Structure 1
Amino acid sequence: MDRSQSQMQILLCDDDADDRFFFSEAIKELKIDNALTVFESGLDLMDYLKHPENHLPHILFLDLNMPCKMGLECLKEIREDAQFRNLVIAIYSTSATEQDIEDTFSNGANIYIQKPSDFKKLKKIMHHILNLNWQYHTAGLNKETFFLNI
């Protein structure tokens, strides 16, 4: 998979249609040159990632609570594959339980975002996430910087 294209390649995996809609609208309003690819299930996401002709995204936003294949299962499977070692994974969930945060941190996610309840806050979070220097952010990753609080 190649990441050399100039557009920011973004993947979103979320089973909730409203959340997918608001996410894509927030990304559009940020006016960042991007290609957003959306998946409704972890199974579809994993099929896409494992297909050699598909581009490796710059960032993957991954919901945790999905039918068939949960986000944590996807995270573990992704992190077990060396070709995805540098893939930035942002957990994007309504949950903010300590257990979910701990499980995703220990299994290699880069950041944890609790889904915001309003569109303005979502845009602010997306702007922050998409403009992060991930190399710097992940170099100093610890539990305090893992859970995004804006």
Structure 2
Amino acid sequence: MNILLVDDDADDRQLFFEAVRDFDDTISCVAAADGTEALRYLGNSDNVIPDFIFLDLRMPGLSGRQCLEEIKKDARLAEVPVIVYTTSRDERESVTLKALGAAHFMSKPVSPDEVYYMVSFVLGEKWN
């Protein structure tokens, strides 16, 4: 299994990688520090298409929402589940993101336990 994590916070990326490793150390993780870097990675046909994309909503430059829109326009990527996480608690925003193709909208975890819970919840789910 392959995961792409898109998050501008280096500490959050490290916590995420540790949680994934604790959940299942056979999972391969790649990180992008922003939406532009993520789209460059996803656009390179030499790279493996991830099984999941975890996407921070609030990032400088290309936002998570804009990145999600671009991902879902690409036929190769349209079926990849994108899990959007953010510090926002705006219910309208979650409805909008779901309409744009997000598989889940989650509050951004702040502790290692919360990160582990998010990872285990998403990766432990049955996906069609």
Give the structure-2-normalised TM-score.
Answer: 0.93
CA distance in 2, matches of 1:95, 1:47: 26
Shift of 1:120: 1.5
Shift of 1:99: 2.9
Q: Which protein has the larger Cα radius of gyration, Structure 1 or Structure 2?
A: 1
Shift of 1:104: 0.7
Shift of 1:31: 2.8
Q: Which secondary structure state, in structure 2, belongs to the residue aligned with residue 65 of structure 1?
A: coil
Aligned to 1:112: 105
Corresponding position: 1:35 with 2:28: yes
CA RMSD in angstroms, aligned pairs only: 1.2
Corresponding position: 1:55 with 2:48: yes
Structure 2 residues not aligned, in runs of 5+? none
Q: Which secondary structure state, in structure 2, belongs to the residue aligned with residue 134 of structure 1?
A: coil
For 1:82, the aligned partner's letter is A
How does 1:116-135 map onto structure 2 within 5 Å?
Answer: 116-135=109-128
Shift of 1:38: 0.6
CA distance in 1, matches of 2:47, 2:125: 24
Shift of 1:74: 0.6
Q: Deviations over 1:74-116 (max 9, x none)?
A: 1111111111121110002122212321221110100111112
Q: Which segments of structure 1 move beyond 3 Å, counting only runs of 4 or more? A: none
CA distance in 2, matches of 1:12, 1:51: 16
CA distance in 1, matches of 2:8, 2:111: 19
Percent identity (aligned)? 33
CA distance in 1, matches of 2:61, 2:118: 28
Aligned to 2:77: 84
Counterpart selection for 1:64 from 57, 66, 91 = 57
CA distance in 2, matches of 1:121, 1:74: 24
For 2:81, the aligned partner's letter is V
Aligned to 1:95: 88
CA distance in 1, matches of 2:79, 2:44: 17
Counterpart selection for 1:26 from 19, 27, 30 = 19
CA distance in 2, matches of 1:120, 1:85: 30
Q: Which secondary structure state, in structure 1, belongs to the residue aligned with residue 110 of structure 2?
A: coil
Give the structure-1-normalised TM-score.
Answer: 0.80
Q: Which secondary structure state, in structure 2, belongs to the residue aligned with residue 55 of structure 1?
A: coil
Aligned to 2:8: 15
Higher relative contact order (CA 8 A, sep 6+): 2
Counterpart selection for 2:39 from 37, 46, 61 = 46
Number of residues of Structure 1 aligned to a counterpart in Structure 2:
128
